[in-house]
Amino acid sequence: MTADVLLDVQELQVQFRTERGMVRAVDGLSYSVARGEAVAVVGESGSGKSVGARSLLGLLPKTASITGGQAIFDGNDLVGMPERAMRAIRGRRIGMVFQNAMEAMSPTITLERQLTEHLIWHGVCSKAEARERAIRALGEVGIPEPERRIRMYPFQLSGGMRQRAMIAMATAIEPDLLIADEPTTAVDVTVQRQILELLKAQKERGTGIIMITHDLGVARFFCDTAVVMYAGQVVERGPMAEFIECPAHPYARGLLGSTIDVGDRHRKLSVIPGSPVDVANRPSGCPFRTRCALADADRCTHAQSLESVSPGRVAACWRSHDHV
């Protein structure tokens, strides 16, 4: 895995300037993505998944700033990269897929222009060739009659089809890395499955994928590595199979126990008490200690660092060894 690392994120920190002062939305995010690897970033809403991903592409609002860490992509640090250099990477070498396609598409522009413009802009191919590629890409994501549909506007497509068109848009240029932020959250299960199959094909072609999701089923189906975030911090990271088999961090265990599968009729739900932590009021020490059943007043009030729990796995809880 280390041989073919595409992206290496180390101790990334992002702050927001708000009415109530500085908020550390992401506070120490580390992971790496190799070619053909899919990394799942999971966690509850507000845990910093999107902010962490957007900061890689310089897509943060003006009130945000990266205050620490690095993100080495192909030998260059994305953090602090000048906008010009970033533009050459964004959309060309790193593609992005959003939860809501409308966010990525201009409502007043036809699919053709949305899909070909950046191909031409990045100088990948000529206009005619771009059109051909776009039609092919639409066909590949399972949009029927791509020649006709390419002349349509985004609002003329159904939600699921729009989502697929956006994937076509992000992948037509064959990026090295694809960041997908909840790409299937807004679609039905059957469409979700189709979209994941599409992304799987992309992955098999060697694209590295960062899959941001709150759905552990999706993460497990699609990804090789799990990164669990809580309150802006990574609490557990490791191979997906082992994580699902026996999560090490109490929060990760709670999350897994709360997830409902078909066939769970008689399984007693394990419930994490309390509400997801607001990063603006993150408790000192272990951020999970206000909800953790195992918390004690002594060690948990100290900051927890990511420690190895088994080869390739780390967790930020002094008790995690007990569980692996």
Partner 1 sequence: MSDALVRLNGVSKVFRGRGGAVTAVDDVDLEVRRGETVGLVGESGSGKSTVARLVMGLQPVSAGTVEFDGCPMTSIKGRQAASFRRRAQMIFQNPFGSLLPHFTAAANVAEPLRLHRVVDAAAGQVRARELLELVGLPPRSAELYPHQFSGGQQQRIAIARALALEPELLVCDEPTSALDVSVQAQILSLLERLKDELGLTMLFISHHLGVVEKLADTVAVMSRGRIVEQGPAEALFEQPRHPYTRQLLAAVLPVRGEPVPLPEDPWRPEDDDGVRMIEVGPGHRARIGAAEQPQAVR
Partner 2 sequence: MTETDRIDPAERPGPPDSSEPAATAGAAQAQSQFRRAWTRFRRNKLALASLVILAALIVVAMIAPLIAPYGFEEPDYENTLAGPGTAGHLLGTDLLGRDLLSRLIYSLRTSFLVGFGAELAALLVAIVIGLMAGYRGGRAEQLLMAVTDVMFAFPTYLFAVLMVAVLGRSVGAVILAIAIASWVNMARLTRAQTLTLMQRDFVEAARAMGAPGVTIAVRYVLPNAVGPLLVAVSFGIPAAITAEAGLALLGLGVQPPTPSLGGMIQDGISYVTSYPNMLVWPAVMLAVVLLAFTWLGDGIRDAFDTTGTRR
Q: How far is the CB of 86 from partner 1 (least distance, A)?
A: 32
Q: How far is the CB of 286 from Mg ion (least distance, A)?
A: 23
Rg (alpha carbons) of the chain, rounded to whole number: 20
Does residue 319 belong to the site contacting ligand SF4 (CB under 6 A)?
Answer: yes
Q: What is the spatial distance between Cα 223 and Cα 254, in angstroms, rounded to a whole number?
A: 20
Looking at residues 202 to 241 of the shown chain, list those that interact with ligand SF4 (rule: CB under 6 A): none
Q: List b or e across 211-230, with b for residues whose CB sees 16 or more CB atoms inside 10 angstroms.
A: bbbbbbebbbbbbbbbbbbb
Question: Looking at beta carbons only, is 52 or 146 nearer to ligand ADP?
Answer: 52
Q: For residue 109, what are its two tokens? A: 């522009």
Q: How far is the CB of 146 from ligand ADP (least distance, A)?
A: 25
Q: For residue 211, what are its two tokens? A: 């899959």
Q: What are phi and psi of 34, to 5 degrees?
A: -100, 170
Q: Which does 103 bind (CB under 5 to 8 A by kind): Mg ion, partner 2, ligand SF4, none?
A: none
Q: What is the spatial distance between Cα 154 and Cα 180, in angstroms, rounded to a whole number?
A: 19
The single-letter code of the amino acid at 274 is: G
The residue range among 45-53, 122-130, 169-177, 246-254 that interacts with partner 2, by the rule CB under 8 A, is 45-53
Q: Which does 61 bind (CB under 5 to 8 A by kind): ligand ADP, Mg ion, ligand SF4, none?
A: ligand ADP
Q: List b or e across 265-291, with b for residues whose CB sees 16 or more CB atoms inside 10 angstroms.
A: eeeeeeebeeeebebeebeeebbbbbb
Q: Which does 146 bind (CB under 5 to 8 A by kind): Mg ion, ligand ADP, partner 2, none?
A: none
State the residues that interact with partner 1 by CB under 8 A: 44-45, 188-190, 192-193, 196, 214-218, 220-221, 244, 254-265, 269-273, 275-276
Residues in contact with ligand SF4 by the rule CB under 6 A: 249-250, 286, 288-289, 292, 294-295, 300, 304, 317-319
